[in-house]
Amino acid sequence: MIRMNDMILLKLGELILKGLNKKQFERRLIANIERRLKTFGEFRVYSAQSAIYIEPLSDNCDMDRAFTAMCKVFGVVSVSRAVACPKDADRIFETARAYLKDELSQAGSFKVESKRSDKRFPMTSIDLSRYVGGKLHDAFPHLTVDVHTPELIVNIEVRDFAAYVHTGGTPGAGGLPVGSGGRAVSLLSGGIDSPVSTYMIAKRGISIIPVHFFSFPYTSELAKQKVLDIAAVLLPYCGKLTVEIVPFTKIQEEIRRLCPEEYLTLIMRRFMMRIADRIAQKNGCGALCTGENLGQVASQTMEALAVTEDCTSLPVLRPLIGFDKEEIVSLARKIGTYELSILPYEDCCTVFTPRHPRTKPSVSEVVEAEKPLDIEALVQEAIQGIERLPIVT
């Protein structure tokens, strides 16, 4: 819904600290915003004074959905529905009275907060707040002024192009624009951790290629669909996603048949890293990303992590490495993946779990344990069988 020709005002976070390459980050962010807005109508998007302005170009624009979408765009720290008006105190008051009529009528107390980015404006921020606040109090005499805990805050921003009136910002997703930091392959299981790690790496400006290892018939089609549903939840944050489904059954069966039981999980993880590394190299990625968390399970000791990353040539990013489980679950709930992750469809990591896994292995002993395997042939066969599924909403 559009009311009184309103627009969306986005505030930037750490982008403003980027110095000489700040414009590159802003261009990437604007491109991401424009792509996200396409399904909601035609908009004009531009930047000035460390903010981005989104103006609807027709009455058919879906401002409510556009606003919600902007809250999930990395690079934005605050999202506000606002209205522009001339930089004149009386016009600002008139605009606030009309634009915020419903809010002002329903509130019991209020205050006005002003920011004056345009220093040519003749009134100070405090003077403007007092002037507009006084006239609003006259127009809505039921209101009381409360500068400490008001029910409603009327925000006024005097900027280069106009003055803007709104009632404050909704927190944005923060971080850096997706695509500004390169690309990475993220190992995406159906569990709680890997969706959160994928989200966190995307938040640092990384474009994601999700890779899922699928062991049918030991894991079901429902398990695969769960991962695709999780990817759909991540899509608004990550931009574009195509999940690469790697057939992993034969590899796991060969590991079970030919390798010592205590090393099954470690050798399985090494195959995952090899395959993810090949996918990354093919797609110009600079790193791998996993949901590993130090000490959470037997394969996530320092020694075990060294063994699993030994067979990749790329950096392995582990954004959850120092988190406890409660912190991870809290983030999973926040981004909306938790309820999907706890659905009772197991992934390949639970197939052929050793009874007594080795927790402090050395690289040399694991290399020796996997010697009976034709590693290159198994990796190539798995890569050739990859199913690529674009995520659309």
The percent of residues in the chain predicted with pLDDT above 70, rounded, is 98
**Over residues 329-335, mean pLDDT:** 97
β-strand 207-214 against 242-247: which pairing, if any? parallel
Give the closest residue to 115 by CA, choosing from 65, 184, 165, 50.
165
Give the span between the Cα atoms of 223 and 207, in whole angstroms: 24
pLDDT score for 359: 80
> Which CATH number does the domain 7-173 belong to among 3.90.1530.10, 3.30.465.10, 3.90.1150.10, 3.30.2130.30?
3.30.2130.30
**pLDDT (tens digit, 9 = 90+) per residue, 137-153?**
999 999 999 999 999 99
| Residue-wise pLDDT tens digits, 26-55 | 999 999 999 999 999 999 999 988 899 999
The arithmetic mean of pLDDT across residues 338-363, rounded, is: 82
Output the pLDDT for position 165.
97
Q: Give residue limits of the domains in the chain.
A: 7-173, 183-390
Dump pLDDT digits (tens) for 292-304: 988 777 778 899 8
* From the candidate CATH numbers 3.50.50.60, 3.40.50.1860, 3.40.50.620, 1.10.3720.10, the one assigned to the domain spanning 183-390: 3.40.50.620
Express each pLDDT in 50-96 by its tens digit: 899 999 998 899 999 999 999 999 999 999 999 999 999 999 999 99
Cis bond before residue 217 (omega within 30° of 0): yes
Q: Looking at residue 299, what is its pLDDT?
A: 74
Strands 109-116 and 76-85: unpaired
